[in-house]
Structure 1
């Protein structure tokens, strides 16, 4: 191994091995984009920050072995798989109570929120919608990040969009938009 221009190079392969300074630069440059993806997956700011921090910690341990010029797909894969492992756990943090909490919207007011509709999707379908339509990834990139086949991404996206079309809150807005004005 030799050090040239601050980079560690393996003599046998001649491939540059990443330094921890490059990790700091990567975090400074890409943490906002990773946080946005994490928020879209979790729908919770604090949980999104925890997810990004966990993913970056996992990436830091393997940083010297990442040999690509673009480490973002590797870190995004860690982010998505960590999110998947979190939602596979049994406990979701919900605690049953005898009393219902107050409604966030005043009574009688129809409040339509796409975020709420996305929140009602199963987590895998939500992940596909976020990666495909919010992060603008291709089907192949989404499949690689989620560790599944491209066909699975296509079917999950179709199912998610069908559920969003049938969502009662979104359907009432769509029908109101289509009614002719008087």
Structure 2
């Protein structure tokens, strides 16, 4: 790769790393896997930088690589997880305690992790990344109708999730609960 391309790629990565890891975290549910998937996506973007750079939307191209890299993670070897029926005991905190928000986030992430991969990808890209249906469809390589149906099914599962239904929500983003999830 030429020196100018190296510099351009480095600047591209620096501006997108936090967002890329956040999206990967929402897809994987694990910080370490998220960083691995983000690094894999960036390695693939580096290898085909001329295509990424010349695309109409390099960010969408990179998100597509990220989603595909996450899906490939399951094709190679399914991660070993040991789910339990109950969560470990936690101390009770008041509603204005910052750890209450952390508990809410963990409940939401656990519910997201239970969605099938396609529904989770649609919900994450559509509602956390705030992409349009057309952008999500382009990222996932499917139709806008598929995005609509997968979003509808995913949101229905989240609404019906017992831990989400019983939780009193505190959020700085009321549209997440009022307009989209609830």
Which residue does 1:180 correspond to in 2? none
Q: What is the correspondence of 1:151-170 to structure 2 with a 5 Å cutoff?
A: 151-170=145-164
Q: Which runs of 5+ in 2 are unaligned?
A: 94-102, 169-182
1:87, 1:123 within 8 Å by CA — same for their partners in 2? no
Partner secondary structure for residue 93 of structure 1: coil
Q: State which of 104, 119, 122 in structure 2 corresponds to 1:125.
A: 119
Which residue does 1:37 correspond to in 2? 23
Q: Which runs of 5+ in 1 are unaligned?
A: 8-18, 175-182
Greater gyration radius = 1
The higher-RCO structure (CA 8 Å, 6+ apart) is: 2
TM-score with structure 2 setting the length: 0.74
Q: Deviation of residue 103 (structure 1)?
A: 3.7
The 1:102/1:121 distance shift into structure 2, 3 A limit, reads: closer
Higher helix residue share? 2
Q: Deviation of residue 157 (structure 1)?
A: 0.6
Q: How many residues end up aligned between the 2 structures?
A: 155
The 1:52/1:62 distance shift into structure 2, 3 A limit, reads: same
